Amino acid sequence: MRLLTFREGGRDRVGARSGDQIIDLSAADNNIPSDMRSFLEAGDSAITAASAAIDAGSGSIDAGSAQVLAPISNPEKVICIGLNYADHAAESGMDIPSEPVVFSKYASAIVGSGDTIKLPPSSNEPDYEVELVVVIGKAGFNISESDAMGHVAGYTVGHDVSARDYQLQKPGGQWMMGKTFDTFAPIGPDLVTADEISDPHDLGIRCILNGETVQDSNTKQLIFKIPELIAYLSHVVTLRPGDLIFTGTPPGVGMARD
């Protein structure tokens, strides 16, 4: 299913997209949480209730009239992977990493896919990075690669907006500071559940800027695949429902075009 968060009457709701309609899951079943993180924490019971609500088709509204927000606005963790496409590493003048390059963003960077990105006056070098984002659905620590995909709730699209002057020119290289300005992590609009994606390692990924396609690749080019990333990260931190993993960007970033 395609899950989303939308606002109606000043209240945020969890919904499911069904054609040109959005099913208000929280209205259809009072037992369904009204925020996505709580929905994911509820596990299979929430998914079962959501499926029943979709089948019933009650509480639907026109998708075109809904204010769609970021699918998850309050993750405990926003984890990002750098240099995870070989050709992007090459265009950045970096060696292909021998293990995942990890940094983070704060949740305050998250906005919806149609929201405004606010460029900070303290930076003169904003850049774009389209990414596949993994959404964790089941908590775990020390997760094995063989079990990793069972911890995935689904996927969304993310934009790892980056201030290159902060990231690369500050003392020591301030990756997090250059990437976690408010509004620097648009995601969405939908969270597509894992059962809808037959192979997350064979998805087209594209960024269009002012009508021009500037990034066009496929997730089959990922250096470290999703099970590797989940295993690697969960040996250090407990992954929890709603956590986001930005899996890296393909080539074509503005920095490499200058």
Q: What is the pLDDT of residue 257?
A: 65
Q: What is the pLDDT of residues 240-249, one digit of tens each?
A: 999 999 999 9
| DSSP of 230-247 | HHHHHTTS-B-TT-EEE-
Q: What is the pLDDT of residue 256?
A: 60
Domain of residue 162: give its range.
Answer: 78-257
* 73 located within any domain: no
CB 34 within 8 A of CB 13: yes
Same domain, residue pair 248 and 191: yes
Q: What is the CATH number of the domain that holds 165?
A: 3.90.850.10
Q: What is the pLDDT of residue 146?
A: 99
In this prediction the pTM is 0.95
Torsion angle of alpha carbons 154, 46, 78, 249, nearest 10°?
10
* 96 located within any domain: yes
Amino acid at 190: D
Same domain, residue pair 6 and 125: no
Q: What is the pLDDT of residue 135?
A: 99
Same domain, residue pair 87 and 133: yes
Of 10, 37, 68, which closes a domain? 68
Of 68, 90, 125, which closes a domain? 68
Same domain, residue pair 82 and 62: no
pLDDT at 170 over 80: no
Same domain, residue pair 111 and 163: yes
Same domain, residue pair 43 and 126: no
Same domain, residue pair 105 and 187: yes
d(CA 164, CA 174): 9
**Confidence tier at 194 by pLDDT (50, 70, 90):** very high
Q: What is the pLDDT of residue 186?
A: 98
Phi, psi torsion values for 4, nearest 5 degrees: -155, 170
- Structural domain count of the chain: 2
Q: Read off the pLDDT of each residue in 189-212 and give the average, rounded to a whole number.
A: 97
Q: Read off the pLDDT of each residue in 116-135 and give the average, rounded to a whole number.
A: 94
Same domain, residue pair 191 and 165: yes
Of 68, 87, 111, which closes a domain? 68
Q: Which of 70-74, 102-106, 123-127 is predicted with the least confidence, judged by mean pLDDT?
A: 123-127
d(CA 114, CA 106): 19
Helices (H), the chain: 25-28, 36-41, 44-56, 86-91, 145-148, 164-169, 175-179, 226-234, 254-257
Same domain, residue pair 172 and 240: yes
d(CA 81, CA 104): 8
